[in-house]
Amino acid sequence: MASLADEISITVAVHDAPMVGKEVARLLFAVLSHELEDFELTEELIEGKSAAALFEATIRGKGAQGSPWCASMSRGRFAS
């Protein structure tokens, strides 16, 4: 979390508008770490000022794959 900028903007598939702020990011990652089992970050995609993380995990015994967030970087840190 230390590498995240205060103004980070996170986009997820289940929410229409980007969610902004380090505290929102902290909450999202806390929920993911609580709900997902066997979490494995499989790839980080960084192109220019945009980034995304891909993962594999299980949820209640079923396999899951996804990208929990996409963000832009500012000053070398993830930001809006």
Residue 1 confidence (pLDDT): 59
> Does residue 4 lie in a domain region?
no
Query: How many domains is the chain partitioned into structurally?
Result: 1
Q: Which residue has the higher pLDDT, 64 or 6?
A: 64
Q: Which residue has the higher pLDDT, 20 or 77?
A: 20
- Token pair listed for 41: 């970050």
Q: 60 is in which domain, residue-wise? A: 9-79
> Does residue 1 lie in a domain region?
no
Report d(CA 59, CA 78) in Å as an integer.
27
Q: Which residue has the higher pLDDT, 50 or 73?
A: 50
- Token pair listed for 53: 């993380």
Q: Quick one: pLDDT band at residue 80, thresholds 50, 70, 90?
A: very low
Q: Quick one: pLDDT band at residue 35, thresholds 50, 70, 90?
A: confident
Cβ atoms < 10 Å from Cβ of 73? 17
pTM of the model: 0.56
